[in-house]
A = this chain, B = another copy of it.
C-alpha cells in the first residue's frame, strides 16, 4: 500500500481517462461524475489537477422552514462542515444537479483554501465566479449561478453516502479530477487501480509514440502479439520503466476507447 504522499505524487501523473479505463476493466462502469467541469478562466489552461479523499456534503431541495438564515448559523451548516474538513480532502457536494443556485461563494471557498482542502467537486453550481476563482481553490461544477443556496437548496449533513452527478460517493473514496472531469475510486480499490493505471499510462505512451512515427492502428491499439513483444523489449531496455517490466501487458484492456 502506498503512503499518502507517494499516492498523491503518483496520482499526479495519471489521467482520469486512464483511471476510468482501469476501473471498467475491474467491473466499475459508473464512476465518472456527470456535469462537473473545471471552473477556470480558460478551458484548459490554468487549473491544476486535484486528488484526495472524498469529504461529502449533502443538500436536499429548499424549503422555507429549512433554508433560513438561522440554518446558516446552526451546528448543521455548510460552515460547520467546512470546519470539519481535514487538510488534503476533496469536498464532494450532492446538489442533486440543481444549477439555479450557488452552493458556495468566495468566502466559503477562501476558508476551504485556508484549511488546505484540495478541491471542490459538485453537480451543482458555485456563485460569484470571479470571487471563487480569486481564492485559487480548484473547483469542478456545472457552472456559476448568482442566487444563494437558500434560494433552492437545504443543507442536511456531511460525511454520508451521497450521489453526485449520477455516481455514488462514500466518505473516504478517492477522488481524482483533471481537465476531463472527476472520477471516484472506491476506497478498497485504490492500490490495485493505481498500479494498473501506471502500467496502462506507460503502454499508451508507447503506442502514441508509435502512431506519431506513422504506425497504423490495427494490431497496435490494442497490441497484437508482435507489438506486445516489441513493447516488452522496450520496457526491458529501460529498467526503471516498469518495476521489472510489463510481463503481461494484458492485451486489449477493457476500457480502451
Residues in A lying within 8 Å of B, measured CB to CB: 15-17, 19-21, 24, 27-32, 34, 37, 40-45, 60-66, 68-70, 72-73, 77-80, 82-83, 96, 99-100, 102-108, 110-111, 114, 127-131, 133, 143-152, 154, 156-157, 160-163, 166-170, 178-181, 183, 186, 188-189, 204, 207-208, 211-212, 214, 216-219, 221-222, 224, 251-257
| Contact among B69, B143, B163, B180 for A127, CB-based, below 8 A | B180
Q: Which residues of B contact A21 (CB under 8 A)?
A: 147-148
A146 and B252 contact, CB distance less than 8 A = no
B254 and A78 contact, CB distance less than 8 A = no
B148 and A257 contact, CB distance less than 8 A = yes
Q: Which residues of B contact A107 (CB under 8 A)?
A: 204, 207-208, 211, 217, 221, 257
**Chain B, residue nearest A163 (CB):** B60
User: Roughly how many angstroms separate A56 CA and B60 CA in the complex, as a whole number?
Assistant: 13
Known: A20-B148, A44-B129, A60-B163. 7 other contacts (CB 8 A): A27-B64, A31-B63, A32-B100, A102-B180, A104-B257, A110-B208, A150-B255
Q: Taking A15-B128, A107-B207, A146-B20 as contacts, is the C-beta distance between A72 and B252 under 8 angstroms?
A: yes
User: Roughly how many angstroms separate A63 CA and B107 CA in the complex, as a whole number?
Assistant: 29
User: Roughly how many angstroms separate A32 CA and B148 CA in the complex, as a whole number?
Assistant: 11
Q: Taking A37-B143, A111-B217, A251-B69 as contacts, is the C-beta distance between A61 and B166 under 8 angstroms?
A: yes
A179 and B16 contact, CB distance less than 8 A = no
B254 and A69 contact, CB distance less than 8 A = yes
Q: Which residues of B contact A15 (CB under 8 A)?
A: 128, 130-131, 146
Q: Which residues of B contact A29 (CB under 8 A)?
A: 29, 64, 147, 151-152
User: Roughly how many angstroms separate A66 CA and B65 CA in the complex, as a whole number?
Assistant: 23
Q: Which residues of B contact A130 (CB under 8 A)?
A: 15, 44, 178-179
A150 and B254 contact, CB distance less than 8 A = yes
How far, in Å, is A249 (CB) from chain B's closest CB?
12
Interchain residue pairs with CB less than 8 A apart (6) = A28-B64, A29-B29, A44-B133, A66-B170, A129-B180, A130-B179
